[in-house]
Structure 1
């Protein structure tokens, strides 16, 4: 009896969307100054590499950004929404407590019937979602998936804390992941360490119609930096080993766009030249789960990432979560 053909998954289309309002460091500094908070373009750029970010207008939800990114990805893949049988949305800023933002996206796209759910791994969310979708496609539970990262972090920022409010922005990125008889996703690696919950969190919840705790983002920047550099390197090396590849095989490194110093440090540890590092943090800020698919789509549409290139995606975020995906684009 012949063996069944191997089943893999490949990215067939990418898309992204940024809200129209672009806020430069200077404009944000002026806004903060009205409340007596001092910062400057120089201070922000020196510490983070960020020069601008986008904020969603009042009434615009994560699902709205996700739908626009998904439509662009579907167009790039040459697919219609009704051909999708799995939607995974990675987000820390969902539209509602429930149902999932993915179900809301499904309704807005008209892609009914397939599975739809959210993944909550903060800035690692897109890596987590991609790994889950890949596993479901390989296992026959799905054939064509939308994996989306979408965030409206501007809604959970403490604008009295200049060390955090200058870092984040809103946006969405998406990929269409389809079953294939040739490998696309080569290997994935996912991890978490709950001992570090407090270093990056929003310590609030809803109970009895009231917010309990603090609904605004809290971060120990130095602790996050120290952990991030180490775990990103280890995750990258783990997926390379699983795939039987090495540092020299990486054509593009697309890390979570949190801080230029973390990104450059990771590239250096992998012996990658600066020109192989995709950087969008300067224009987008940290868009959490949206940052990796946003950066991927930018690089694809600019003609840098091309078919056949080997791409490393990696993220680290609150939880403390981290992971990496190696793929042939």
Structure 2
């Protein structure tokens, strides 16, 4: 037997699914750029593909199999899988599937009529057509971005409602006195919480047409809320990590409505009753609010108390008290 026939015989033996050593003949043939090795390798790839299909079919069959059947044992399945693997190899060798032939044509176009994409002509107007297609895609993307930007600009946003923190306190502290009195809370504590929620009035929610929602306490619009609402991005803490999300928030006609609704919101919810029992102590009150789930920020109570004890809030509060005493 000459060397060529010997190599071919080794390749045919490699079709045995469990003859691992004979697969070395494929490696040797590939190193010599042997076309026969290419065909055999393509058939092995096809066999793997067929085996995957048979395995999926067997898995579906096993679902309906009788657990008590002697043909459903692990030993039977072991030999069945071996049979399927060899069957896949024999099917690929016979050319009944055809996938191996397509692979050979793609990898060796000189022996077939299949022309790979990298050998296609690039003359004519192909480049112009591609440029036109890219331009169309770019135009569509830009138009989509422009529409999204316009939509974003027209949607609810957070805008300043006061020129300065001092103006924020001067305008809200007198309004807070009446609302805070309903639950026995220091009006300064209510303003401090509003300052934390709105950044001293610099991040008040405004509707798409620019109307101020007057939402001072970040009260969301639940399903039972019948008034106006605005959807806007907000940060929520989950497991100590800030997550950006979009949520609906209540909208009011005035800051007075916002403060009164804040009080009503707390009084109507059973979860905040323990906090309402400690309004005489702002620090305890805000800690209880945080524990009850009013805010997901783990440092919420500390932030509010920091503003409550700040010199800025105390100074403006003292000024208003002095003016009130003079009157």
The bucket for the TM-score relative to the shorter chain is under 0.3
Q: Whose helix proportion is higher, 1 or 2?
A: 2
Choose 1 or 2 for highest CA Rg.
2
Q: Whose strand proportion is higher, 1 or 2?
A: 1
TM-score normalised according to structure 2 size: 0.19
TM-score normalised according to structure 1 size: 0.19
Higher relative contact order (CA 8 A, sep 6+): 1
